Amino acid sequence: MTKKMTYASVGVDYTAMDAFKRMAQTAARSTAGNIKRLGFRVRKESYGESAFLIDPTDSIPYSLAHVEEGLGTKNLVADAMYRLTGKSYYDHIAQDTVAMIVNDMITLGALPISVAMHLAAGNSNWFKDEERCRDLILGWKNACNLARCTWGGGETPTLKDIIVPEAVILSGSAIGAVKPKRRLMRPENIQHGDAIILISSSGIHANGLTMARKIADKLQDGYLTKLHDGRTYGEALLDPTLIYVPLIEHCWGEGVNIHYAVNITGHGWRKLMRATQPFAYIIECLPMQLPIFDFLQKHGPVDDAEAYGNFNMGAGFALYVPEADVKNIWKVLRYDEYCNKYLSACNAGHIERSDEKKVIIKPKGLEYSGDALGVR
């Protein structure tokens, strides 16, 4: 019998990482008072959220937001495909990185203002590949345009002996604003009966790539193995992460009262219970299954509990809204050019009061208890 593949078995142990995050949050809270002399105060409820919020003063009608995020290991897939096909895919990789940053920012209602790039190389020779550098720069610029923000510089260190010579580590940071403050989306807004709207992903996005790379190692044709839709495995993995900023802005324009939002990245659908309150998040229908996830589950093999607990499984973002507002989300998806072209949605379920936090995925017979997510 083939042994099931898990994320922990390929070297990514969220239990260990989440313990560090909680320790760091405790230390960070003790520094909150340092900025009072400058006329700023920390919104302490944002510790443990995807974005960090600071209020300039009570009289200024907006909050500032800061996000730091990284690409992960997806560029290693691009490097392999570059060798195999002659196409760099670094325009896709750039969008992945920007998307990881700005999609975290909008979960609390902050819109990105400026995004900075951090590109650390193992050897300065990496920058001599003009095609790859050109693709990366063009992709980053285009992603900033999609996210409606400016590219605010960055840093390009060479970290010899820390990073292997042929590799880079891509990450970045952003500042943004919740303006006006009434647009702040926070856990306290969630209500019993809220609808859970799952917004489509383009594929694996930028989480779960360590497992995906291990699966490639097992395949006779590696990244050139064909999926049932005729595309190669590597090509499908490198579909760029969708950017959800326009969706949020246009939902506001249609009067949608978004109570809270979740960027479905690491921890998969467990992330749906990121809020602190003891709600049950009940999923009654699933988005269309994408070929890449069928392939990952078959060739891992990866069972449903592991897949939904780590991959986005076709849902890259979630909105929690009053049931009465759902019709206006459909209007945005129908009439906005970007949303109509790239996004679809599923009214997947609802939120109920509960004695404990949990995510219940009824079509798969899965239940994740609150202790399955330890990010805060």
Tokens of 55: 């209020």
Residue 1 has what pLDDT?
A: 58
Q: Does the pTM exceed 0.95?
A: yes
CATH for 12-183 is 3.30.1330.10
pLDDT of residue 60: 86
What is the CATH number assigned to the segment(s) 187-372? Answer: 3.90.650.10
The domain locations on the chain are 12-183, 187-372
Count other Cβ atoms within 10 Å, centred on residue 321. Answer: 23
pLDDT number for residue 154: 96
Q: Which pair of structure tokens corresponds to residue 84?
A: 């195999």
SS3 of residue 265 by DSSP: strand
Q: What is the DSSP string of 99-166?
A: HHHHHHHGGGTPEEEEEEEEEEESSGGGGG-HHHHHHHHHHHHHHHHHTT-EEEEEE--B-BTTB-TT
> For all residues of the chain together, what is the average pLDDT?
96
pLDDT at position 54 is 96
DSSP 151-178: EEEEE--B-BTTB-TT-EEEEEEEEEEE
Say if CB 342 and CB 242 are below 8 A apart.
yes
pLDDT in tens, 186-195: 999 999 999 9
Residues of the chain short of pLDDT 50, as ranges, are none
